[in-house]
Amino acid sequence: MMTTLIACSHGTDSPVGRSTVAEIVDLVRARLPETRVVEAFVDVQEPTVHDVVERERHDDEVVVVPLLLSAGFHTAVDITDAVSPHANVRQTEPLGTHPLIADLLLSRLLEVVDGGWQEGDHVVLAAAGSRNPASAVDVARTAEALARLMPVPLTVGYASAIDPRISAAVADARRSGARRVIAASHVLAPGFFAGLVERAGADLTSAPLGADARVADVIVDRFRGSA
C-alpha cells in the first residue's frame, strides 16, 4: 500500500497566493515522484481536508502535512477532526519550527535590508496569530531560531487574535530606539495576512516565504518523519 501526502493549506482569495501554494505543491511532487500528492484546504478554497481525507483513505495510507507555520485552530480542530477517526490517516507538525524556515526568513530579510544590517535595526517577526496557546509557542521557537542568525534585536507581533499586534510591536521597537524596523513576514504566501503585515507600519517588510525549495524540503521532511 502506498502513502498519499495531503498538502493542506489555509486557502486564500488571492490569485497570487493560490498560484504560490500550487507551485509549492508542485515542488513537493518533484521531490516525491513515487508518492501521490494532493491538495486540500481548511478555509476559503475547496476541496476541504475532510473531503480529501475521506476520498483518499480508502485506497492508501494518508499523511496530512499542514502547510501552516504554527499550530492553531486549523491544526487542532479542522485537520485533527478529519484525521482522528481513521487508523490509516495521520497528521504532521506544521512547518514553522523546522530550522529551514528560520533560514528562509533570514534570506527574505536580507533581500530587503539595503546594503545589509545597520546600527539601530530591529526586526519584528510578524506572524498571523491564533488564540490557541500552541501557536505562540511555535512562533516563539521560530523567533529564537531566527534571532540566533541575526546581529540585530528581534521581537514578535501578530496580525490577529492575540497581542502584541504587529503595529504595536513596530511602535515599541521605535520607542526603544530602533532607527529602522523591518517586519519579517511569517506567512507562506501572498493573501490576507501578508497584506496585514505590509500595512503594519514597518520601514521595510520582507516578502512571504513563497515557493522556495526550502519550503518544499520542509514538507518532504515532515512527510518522511511521520513514518
CB 124 within 8 A of CB 204: no
Number of domains within the chain: 2
What is the pLDDT, as a whole number, of residue 227?
Answer: 66
Output the pTM of the full model. Answer: 0.94
Same structural domain, 86 and 109: no
What is the pLDDT, as a whole number, of residue 1?
Answer: 62
Same structural domain, 147 and 184: yes
Same structural domain, 147 and 92: no
Same structural domain, 110 and 25: no
Same structural domain, 112 and 128: yes
Same structural domain, 158 and 190: yes
Could you read off the pLDDT of 88-113 as tens digits, one per residue?
A: 999 999 999 999 999 999 999 999 99
For residue 217, give its domain range. Answer: 3-96+211-225
Same structural domain, 48 and 79: yes
158 Cβ neighbours under 8 A, 6+ residues apart = 126, 127, 128, 129, 139, 164, 165, 166
CATH of the domain at 22: 3.40.50.1400
Same structural domain, 87 and 39: yes
Same structural domain, 191 and 109: yes
Secondary structure of 51-105 in the HEC alphabet? HHHHHHCCCCEEEEEECCCCCCHHHHHHHHHHHCCCCCEEECCCCCCCHHHHHHH
**Within the chain, which residues score under 50 in pLDDT?**
none
What is the pLDDT, as a whole number, of residue 114?
Answer: 81
Same structural domain, 17 and 103: no
Same structural domain, 92 and 103: no
Same structural domain, 104 and 199: yes
